[in-house]
A and B are shown apart, each in its own frame.
Chain A
């Protein structure tokens, strides 16, 4: 089985500060990591490989330092990777990104299974995975929380949808986006890191991909960020203060009442 996992490198959000004036992230000095939700796609791929064999290739579009993310994915257990990197790719929206990744996947010869994270923690759109499926003309199964390869050679994917679970039987080739429930990502091992260091990772630019220059990067992006604003927080709460030990039960009761009134309990 040939698996491709597209990943994105994002800023480590637990340490990110927002610029109060522009409303954008202050990225200087912030550590870059694999998009945490992509780790679930990597983990899923490795588990499938451990059970059924195959190869896993990670692909990412980004600046040269994205190499670090690709090596980390290899350290976790992926076999190889490819980086799509060139100034011309810069400023791409989700459409241009999906287009560029499509060319990369095609150059890799396609795959039986493409596994994506649900969305990236920085842009938060969740569009690149589905966009890639569309451009590659592949069936798309989103929000997969459980995945098995059935005896028939078809995938059995359990989707977490509003109001329940949906089990989809689908044949390769297919693109899926996975959610956290699929399994906790493993930590990289030292052996993995040493192997990743030795792995040659090709870097492909627009010429390698034979990309249409009007469809990549900022120029190829039909959407633009024109304004960022912060939503007003409308949630309100009620503060219950316990002044004396004897009031604990009373306070607990008022929390219960509070929740009952709002149909939480």
Chain B
């Protein structure tokens, strides 16, 4: 990538002066390797940085950004590396800036229901810190026990509870941001309403580490639900299952915390993998529905309403999980789908398409058709309540590995075209990063891509911060 300067001894020396020698990794390939990839399984998406730097403050990050601009060295910000689109991968080399040392919960403002944290706090730790105050942060990516909240905001993480609680962005009230050129700015704060100027705060949310590095995060909190129940509902087919989703909300008048969909292939492979003895053979699809609330009576009334509705609308059986053990059992099925398919074939592409949720039954035969025409197996599962499906392309074991990337590309293009045709788009919560950038033109017009490149250039005229992400290669990098 000849357009950037390599890390020279003088640059390294300046970096060491900024953060201290202890917090600069250089010439230690085995340690640096951990910063070369995220959770995307295919090693083809990894790229080694030249140096990893671990600053402790906004001031240090500001100095690093000014230095990077001066020498024209790319900087890729990184949280926990649990992303699924290559967003934290330094595809142009240069510096990986890890926020792992910035992991303090700065303030719990119980009276305003706001928490102020640094970007390197593990998301779940926020909730551990405030649960005794009866509060919680409703952002809930599935990797909640390992991911950092900074990454959640950079990706605008969604997850299993988005139908009721929305995605991460809904809870971001303020950010302190180091801009790509090194200025430190404050957007928003503890305000629940704020319409002064453009909503730059929410431009930052979901910007995938390309517009700024968050150094302080103001999150809105909610009262912690005290009761919950899960229903595992077996249906004869996907269409019957999905028909129930709008009914629950429209006729049941309930917004569940989660409605997770699992197709027959996902259910059968996972139940076999787990030796689960539920009568899954007779199910053509399953819904996993969670309700939560502030009293057991309310939750009981809601799960009964939903369960009866499903029974009246084609459900084969409604199982109810009311305690931790049984709730874990039903969620284990959902959480182990990816794992179960890795046993079948470890080479796969985990996708993140999103379509209007009533269209889910329409996409299923299309996926089946794809798996019949190409040597891939395509389980489909995900967040039925919001139409975000983790369709996964799993290489059939008999397909030679050297043919995989071509097959993967061909199937992805077809999958994304089908998604667009059904009114959807290519990523609901994982982001574009480096993994999906070449596919952006399938769902976004050249005008919109150009407009966003121009925005990027206003923030980052030298293309220093997390370059080669989101937007497809070529056709000019904005104003440059």
Contact = CB atoms under 8 A, between A and B. Distances in A.
10 contacts: A12-B323, A14-B324, A31-B323, A33-B324, A72-B322, A184-B276, A187-B321, A189-B317, A189-B318, A190-B320
Given A183-B277, A243-B30, A190 B325 contact: no
Given A183-B277, A191-B318, A193-B304, 13 more contacts: A15-B324, A33-B324, A36-B325, A187-B320, A187-B326, A187-B329, A188-B326, A189-B317, A189-B320, A190-B231, A190-B308, A190-B318, A194-B304
Contacts of B265: none
A14 B325 contact: yes
Interface in A171-216: 183-184, 186-191, 193-194
A111 B422 CA distance: 61
Contact of A190 (B30, B277, B278, B307): B307
A129 to B, nearest CB: 21
A193 to B, nearest CB: 6
B319 interface: yes
Interface string A1-26: 00000000000101100000000000
A188 B319 contact: yes
Interface in A35-83: 36, 72, 75
Interface string B297-326: 000000110011001000001111111111
Interface of B: 30, 231-232, 276-278, 303-304, 307-308, 311, 317-326, 329-330
Contacts of A12: 323-325
A124 interface: no
B62 to A, nearest CB: 36
Contacts of A189: 317-320
A187 B319 contact: yes
Contacts of A183: 277
A244 interface: yes
Interface residues of A, number: 20
> Which 7 interchain pairs have the tightest Cβ spacing?
A190-B307, A190-B318, A187-B319, A184-B277, A33-B323, A12-B324, A188-B320
Interface in A64-118: 72, 75
B30 A244 contact: yes
Interface of A: 12, 14-15, 31, 33, 36, 72, 75, 183-184, 186-191, 193-194, 243-244
Nearest to A193: B320
B122 to A, nearest CB: 20
Contacts of A244: 30
A12 B323 CA distance: 8
Contacts of B231: 190
Nearest to B278: A187
Nearest to A33: B323
B232 A187 contact: yes
Nearest to A242: B30
Nearest to B296: A68
Contacts of B311: 190-191
A89 to B, nearest CB: 24
A15 B323 CA distance: 11
B118 to A, nearest CB: 28
A200 to B, nearest CB: 19
A244 B231 CA distance: 46
Interface centre among A15, A36, A183, A189 (most CB of B within 10 A): A189
A135 B308 CA distance: 45
A250 to B, nearest CB: 15
A31 B324 contact: yes
Contacts of B278: 187
Nearest to A14: B324
A233 to B, nearest CB: 26
Contacts of B303: 190
B304 A190 contact: yes
Interface centre among A184, A189, A190, A243 (most CB of B within 10 A): A190
A31 B317 CA distance: 26
A120 to B, nearest CB: 15
A33 B329 CA distance: 15
B219 to A, nearest CB: 25
Contacts of A15: 324
